[in-house]
Structure 1
Amino acid sequence: MTLIVGLGNPDLQYKNNRHNVGFMVIDALIDDQSSCEKITKANFKGELFKATSMLLLKPTTYMNLSGESVRAVDDYFKPDHIIVIHDDLDLPFGTLRFKIGGGHGGHNGLRSIDAHIGAEYIRVRIGIGKPLHKSDVAKYVLSDFSACQREFLPEILLHVKKSIQALLTQDLKEVSLQYSLKQTLCDGDKV
């Protein structure tokens, strides 16, 4: 069993934010399953769904406390692998990268997960670009994708979804070679 975690914030006001791209991928994976059972248990602190060979988790703790939810589900189900899907400011919009472990790069969701379960999990890094000024980071990640980005987002989400499905049967190196994206889209959309 593989635990697949999408990072984001639970309230409706954050639904289309850049920071919620992990939730968007989980929603796409859920929609793609012929049978998906919702598992309700308060101490999971998240929306958890079980499909054939995977658990799909959207922590409802808000981004900065995501590790609490991941830890609770990990302790209960003891999955063989954990995959975390998240936004990455250090990658241009349209880029997709994969890795195991490493630092959190200032991402509070990853920082929380690292503190609760360690850093040795698969990371699916979706580039969202970054603002012109470092002081605008919080505003940038908590704002919706630009009109240009929204045009490309469905195709990126589909590509990420396919990469996640491939990770269930292939090793990380193969998936990385096949699914990494090194494109820069909507580069003029800096705030």
Structure 2
Amino acid sequence: MIKALFKFDKHIPKDAVVVDTTSGTSKDFKELSPFVLHAPPAKRFENLWQFSKVYRQHLGVDGKPNADFYKWRAEGLVDTKPHRYPMGKGAKPEYTWWLKDGAFQQLDYITARKLLYIPYYSRNVERTQSFINLFKLTIRCNLDQVDLVLLDYDAYDHRALGMTLKDVVNNPNKKCGHAFVLVSLLTGEPLV
């Protein structure tokens, strides 16, 4: 079985194969991290996600992003340094500005996960050597009947809570880290 867990979870099965999917991992799996993953037009996937969020100071009088947003976003997309909290920890975005039905629109948190985070992370991570390494490791774990645990800051034992991956994606009160996307890619369990 493959599961995603919080990076510092105290209940990691002792006999499981554990892969840290964060930026602090070994080079074999480093590109799994949104902090490292290249995701055109962004240098880092994390920045594509974070700099697509619109904050109050970036709202025009019409409620759409103003010129300051586009300048801020453009700078964020070309920055090679990942920014988890570009407006400071605790800052709440008004919405995410992303493509829907062929045009940029205001997206709520869950819709943004479905239209931006999941498909763009998936599309870009599947092209990496790190994902190929993880896929091969998954096959070995399956053959050896050993659990595979993917560690992520934004993961938790969703199965222990009686949740499917779709439940994880649709829960506005819980994080939906990239390790859940990896579980979906490796198992075929749908996220959306």
Structure with more contact order per residue of length (Cα contacts < 8 Å, sep ≥ 6): 2
Is TM more than 0.5 here? no
What range describes the TM-score normalised by the shorter chain of this pair? under 0.3
Q: TM-score, normalised by structure 2?
A: 0.24
Q: TM-score, normalised by structure 1?
A: 0.24
- Between Structure 1 and Structure 2, the one with more strand by share is 1
